[in-house]
Amino acid sequence: MVRIVVGILGALAVWGQPLPSEARVQERIAKYEELTRSNPRDVEFWHVLGGLYREAELWDKAINAETQAVQKFPKYAVAYYGRGKARVGKEDYAGAVEDFTSSIRLYEARGGVEMYLTIEQPSAEYIDCYRSRGVALSHLNKYKEGIADVSTAIKLRKDDPKLLYERGYLEEKAGLKKDAIPDYHRAGLIYADSFAKASAQECVARLDGLGAKAEADAVRLKLAPKTPKSDLPK
């Protein structure tokens, strides 16, 4: 049955017909294009439209939509974030860094990063500003600054295995293998505890590649099936 379904979806793609999820995105794009025409001053509509364009990988249109939101409300932090994400998609990493920086400044205008570490729950977009700026900086070969940004994202979302893995990857790319090992190790253990087997195994592969046998074996042990205990009397 699975093969049949996959075959049908593949045939649809070959014939240029949109897949169901793509069709839904196109319907929502048409809806929000109409809403922005009818309500051109509504920055939220422009931001949502930008997100839909990003989902469809229409990077220039996404940038233009978020720019409309920024021009109408220059303190709209999430629109700078959305435009930064679109610029990453377009591989305009320098432009993305500028937008993420603008977004971070607006988010932190009321009390800096410390406020989100101690008082207020940070939004997913704010955390991802640091993570995405770190990735964009790394694409510009600014690994030290990029790793620092991902580290801030980890402070804001402790023990997030995806962030730990990504910091480890940037550290490995930067030649900081001794720093990468504990990040891959921690990420692998968390993934294993969460039954995310494929992600944990990817951490094991990275650790093996770095010659970190003890750390790789620790993750493997977590992944090993547990032997059920006997309920027979002893």
pLDDT tens sequence across 179-210: 999 999 999 999 999 999 999 999 999 999 99
* Any domain includes 113: no
HSE-up of residue 80 (Cα within 13 Å, Cβ side):
21
Closest CA to 150 of 160, 141, 140: 160
What contacts 11, CB < 8 A, 6 or more positions away? none
Is 0.95 surpassed by the pTM of this model? no
* Any domain includes 100: no
pLDDT tens sequence across 99-141: 999 999 999 998 888 888 888 899 999 999 999 999 999 999 9
Q: Is the pLDDT of residue 17 over 80?
A: no
Which pLDDT does position 14 carry in this prediction? Answer: 41
* Domain containing residue 174: 159-222
* Any domain includes 172: yes
Which pLDDT does position 2 carry in this prediction? Answer: 41
**pLDDT above 90 coverage of the chain, percent:** 81
Contact 174, 144 (CB under 8 A): yes
Contact 163, 153 (CB under 8 A): yes
* Any domain includes 105: no
Which pLDDT does position 110 carry in this prediction? Answer: 81
Which pLDDT does position 172 carry in this prediction? Answer: 98
Which pLDDT does position 154 carry in this prediction? Answer: 97
Where do the H-state alpha helices sit in 73-196? 77-89, 93-107, 112-118, 124-139, 143-156, 161-173, 177-193
Which pLDDT does position 198 carry in this prediction? Answer: 97
Measured N-to-C along each axis, helices 197-209 and 161-173 cross at an angle, to the nearest 10 degrees, of 20
Closest CA to 191 of 167, 165, 166, 169: 165
* Any domain includes 201: yes
Contact 83, 66 (CB under 8 A): yes
Amino acid type, 32: Y
Contact 147, 159 (CB under 8 A): no
How many other C-beta atoms are found inside a 10 Å radius of the C-beta of residue 28? 16
Closest CA to 131 of 177, 87, 90, 164: 164
Mean pLDDT of the chain: 91
> Distance between CA atoms of 25 and 62, rounded to whole angstroms?
14
* Any domain includes 182: yes
> Distance between CA atoms of 14 and 34, rounded to whole angstroms?
30
* Any domain includes 51: no
* Any domain includes 211: yes
Number of domains into which the chain is organized:
1
